[in-house]
Amino acid sequence: METKEEKPAIRENTGRNEDGTFQKGVSGNPSGRPKGTMKDYLRRKFMEMEDDQKEEFLKKVSPEMQIRLAEGNPKQDTDLTTGGEKIQPVLVRFIDKENG
């Protein structure tokens, strides 16, 4: 059987180098983050509140969530023991004690 050498798809100029990285000075998101998002709206609404209104709002929010609102979510790395190796699933057999 004859094998064909696969060629990369022809695409319009994306501003990327052959290794997939962007050329210097070329953005992967030229339009930037969309404006008018819910995050923008809520930030603006909170900033327009009087201090006493902010305090009332924060009484309903847990201290942990207040930190997240102020600082963002903490970084979450989960690879603690595998050293980058793929995790193998463990199959567990369920034994019904009544039906053996």
Q: pLDDT tens for residues 68-93?
A: 888 888 877 766 666 767 777 776 66
Residue 100 located in a structural domain: no
Amino acid 11: pLDDT: 57
Residue 33 located in a structural domain: no
93, two tokens: 């057999």
Residue 91 located in a structural domain: no
Total count of domains within the chain: 1
Residue 43 located in a structural domain: yes
Domain with 60, as residue range(s), is 38-71
Within 10 Å of residue 55's Cβ, how many Cβ atoms?
10
Residue 55 located in a structural domain: yes
Residue 58 located in a structural domain: yes
Eight-state DSSP code of residue 20: S
Mean pLDDT, to the nearest integer, of 33-50? 89
